[in-house]
Chains A and B, each alone.
Chain A
């Protein structure tokens, strides 16, 4: 008798604790989680852009979170913990285009809208849409810029990311399309892939430049690590003859642009992604819907892609490209409001 009383007291205490903690979470305002799949310099702008969005759009909470290691299980665990803590809207770079879908389905099932950010989930998914750079357009435009820098003729080498990444094949095709438009004046000597690992990038790029550097006139890179390694290699060998267009905005790459070793870089608009994305997911959480006639692109494995665009950065606009990104973000915001969003 005494034992059963003690047992019921313990159970009662447990339920009381559960009740108190659940009640503490009952907050009706939008709590947005911006979640990267792992540490990477690309995501550094997301935190400040999210804070800016919270201030400009009067959103309750916009928190940027990143697991300490780039690993699917850690990413999923972080998302699950945020869902448990009453975050009710998410901007997520998928840890895997398919394996993140069940977690996204869980979140959406709990009433939290999800936008996949900077990288798309593979269709079909429960994400409202994908807000990312259109890889085809970015690679095509980068190739056109390089061809222009080379004076419309010469030989190009393409340093790319993992071949298993579907985006790599898309980028190779886009560069081939831009080159084909020169009617043979420009040729692609090689597409060297699997360079998203520093060691592999160092080995392959340095070996290529040592053996065939004199045979090429242009370098195009379509991933972060090969951009940094190729820029560093050109600086080391002191070669300003070879024109190079990189991707994104690592400090070493930007320094190489300042010093004239790299012509320019195509910078994805990470600020716009988090800023406009926060606005969008807040609106979706508070009752707005997406227009049925929204001008979605079908790219990056998704039939619902909104292109976040790029900024071409050269020595001329190196100091002001952040302002350009913010201007473009405002344009994207206006476009999203008028062409994609429908509010009651």
Chain B
């Protein structure tokens, strides 16, 4: 099944983007190791990989929705609400950790499903729907929990946050990379993945080809909710508690890294193209840049300024490249 005009040259483009990001990661590593004291210390590498694990998941959660031409502004609210849900199951109902985590993933998936359902059946852009659901979900969570953290968690859950491999590697990053691999397989080698990309590339053509576009939009929102829930659980493991404000007010602190990873990774904002490997690499690069700038004592506001600028630049470059390629193809 064709998934858009760029599908044939996709492997080469993806490989070249991946190579570019890898070189940037290596360059940033050398520069920060030289300029930022402590950057290459085992503890910092551990902290960096732990944060990267979270950013990879956020990037993937946004990427799958962007693949259909949509957006999900509510991933922060869904992630934190799901984590709080797991916390209450463990604290108040004394459920086993694994049951609580699975329930939280289902909860996140259900919230995402609701987003997708409204997008499809109300025919409203996902930007508006998820903007509203972000406030609704976060507000409801604050009302129900009275903004109180969940702090009485089982020791087995807390022990997960202390695992460190080789002194410098967080196993959470491996979990995120494994999830990324599954999504890559799904997008490239399954009918479901191809239908998702086809829905984003040209929804009318996809419909005529027999793809149930509405179902696929609901699917990616549910998947995004599940990924956000995993991110929320990971952050809770890192904190040893579920704190309502751990992703900022309304979960907004997650939005910038969530957008940066797929956009820098070459995912088309108009839909139809989603590259998992480059999204993972871009998430790692963003984490590395943030960490390095923090170690260099560059003010937090400047870090935000730099990341916002990178996002805008990436969007403009992609736009320019698309225009150029279109011109060349036209010729």
Chain B residues closer than 8 Å to A68, beta-carbon distance: 299-301
Instruction: Check: A99 CB closer than 8 A to any chain B CB.
Output: yes
Please tell me if the beta carbons of A17 and B33 are within 8 angstroms of each other in the complex: yes
Q: Mark B230-263, 1 if CB is under 8 A from A, else 0.
A: 0000000011110101111000010000000000
Q: Mark B291-330, 1 if CB is under 8 A from A, else 0.
A: 1001100011100000000000000000000000000000
The contact of A17 among B37, B40, B51, by CB within 8 Å, is B40
The contact of B246 among A20, A78, A99, A110, by CB within 8 Å, is A99
Contact stretch, chosen from A69-77, A181-189, A245-253, A260-268:
A69-77
> A73-B253, A101-B240 are contacts. A22–B40 as well, Cβ < 8 Å?
yes
A107 to chain B, nearest CB (A): 9
Please tell me if the beta carbons of B34 and A122 are within 8 angstroms of each other in the complex: no
A73 to B40 alpha-carbon distance, docked (Å): 21
A28 to chain B, nearest CB (A): 16
Please tell me if the beta carbons of B43 and A106 are within 8 angstroms of each other in the complex: yes
Q: List 11 A-B contacts (CB under 8 A).
A: A17-B34, A24-B37, A71-B253, A73-B248, A81-B295, A84-B41, A86-B41, A98-B240, A99-B239, A99-B240, A122-B151
Instruction: Check: B146 CB closer than 8 A to any chain A CB.
Output: yes
A residues 57-79 with Cβ under 8 Å of B? 67-69, 71-74, 76-78
Nearest-neighbor residue (CB-CB) of B150 within chain A: A98
Chain A residues closer than 8 Å to B148, beta-carbon distance: 164
B295 to chain A, nearest CB (A): 5
Please tell me if the beta carbons of A78 and B294 are within 8 angstroms of each other in the complex: yes
Chain A residues closer than 8 Å to B149, beta-carbon distance: 96, 98-99
Nearest-neighbor residue (CB-CB) of B299 within chain A: A68
Chain A residues closer than 8 Å to B41, beta-carbon distance: 21-22, 25, 84, 86
Instruction: Check: B184 CB closer than 8 A to any chain A CB.
Output: no
Please tell me if the beta carbons of B240 and A102 are within 8 angstroms of each other in the complex: yes
Please tell me if the beta carbons of A96 and B243 are within 8 angstroms of each other in the complex: yes
Chain B residues closer than 8 Å to A316, beta-carbon distance: none
> A98-B149, A102-B161, A164-B147 are contacts. A80–B253 as well, Cβ < 8 Å?
no
Chain A residues closer than 8 Å to B253, beta-carbon distance: 71, 73
Q: Mark A200-242, 1 if CB is under 8 A from B, else 0.
A: 0000000000000000000000000000000000000000000
B324 to chain A, nearest CB (A): 32
Q: Mark B33-56, 1 if CB is under 8 A from A, else 0.
A: 110011111011001000100000
The contact of A102 among B30, B239, B291, by CB within 8 Å, is B239
Nearest-neighbor residue (CB-CB) of B50 within chain A: A80
Nearest-neighbor residue (CB-CB) of B300 within chain A: A68
A162 to B142 alpha-carbon distance, docked (Å): 14
From DSSP, what is the main secondary structure of chain A's interface residues? helix
The contact of A85 among B34, B38, B241, by CB within 8 Å, is B38
A residues 1-53 with Cβ under 8 Å of B? 10, 13-14, 17-18, 20-22, 24-25
Instruction: Check: A83 CB closer than 8 A to any chain B CB.
Output: yes
Please tell me if the beta carbons of B247 and A73 are within 8 angstroms of each other in the complex: yes
Instruction: Check: B162 CB closer than 8 A to any chain A CB.
Output: yes
Please tell me if the beta carbons of B241 and A69 are within 8 angstroms of each other in the complex: no
Instruction: Check: A105 CB closer than 8 A to any chain B CB.
Output: yes
Chain B residues closer than 8 Å to A97, beta-carbon distance: 151
Please tell me if the beta carbons of A84 and B295 are within 8 angstroms of each other in the complex: yes
Please tell me if the beta carbons of A99 and B241 are within 8 angstroms of each other in the complex: yes
Nearest-neighbor residue (CB-CB) of A101 within chain B: B240
Please tell me if the beta carbons of A72 and B246 are within 8 angstroms of each other in the complex: yes
A252 to B1 alpha-carbon distance, docked (Å): 70
B98 to chain A, nearest CB (A): 21
Instruction: Check: B132 CB closer than 8 A to any chain A CB.
Output: no
A221 to B47 alpha-carbon distance, docked (Å): 40
> A18-B33, A21-B40, A73-B247 are contacts. A98–B299 as well, Cβ < 8 Å?
no
The contact of B47 among A13, A84, A86, A101, by CB within 8 Å, is A84
Q: Mark B218-240, 1 if CB is under 8 A from A, else 0.
A: 00000000000000000000111
Q: A84-B47, A85-B295, A101-B241 are in contact. List 7 more A-B contacts (CB 8 A).
A: A21-B37, A72-B246, A81-B44, A96-B239, A98-B243, A99-B240, A101-B240
A10 to B30 alpha-carbon distance, docked (Å): 10
Please tell me if the beta carbons of B38 and A73 are within 8 angstroms of each other in the complex: no
A68 to B248 alpha-carbon distance, docked (Å): 13
Please tell me if the beta carbons of A105 and B47 are within 8 angstroms of each other in the complex: no
Nearest-neighbor residue (CB-CB) of A74 within chain B: B300
Q: Mark A279-306, 1 if CB is under 8 A from B, else 0.
A: 0000000000000000000000000000
Instruction: Check: B26 CB closer than 8 A to any chain A CB.
Output: yes
Could you say which of A10, A83, A85, A86 has the most chain B C-beta atoms within 10 Å of its C-beta? A85
Chain A residues closer than 8 Å to B247, beta-carbon distance: 73
Nearest-neighbor residue (CB-CB) of A109 within chain B: B162
Chain B residues closer than 8 Å to A164, beta-carbon distance: 146-148
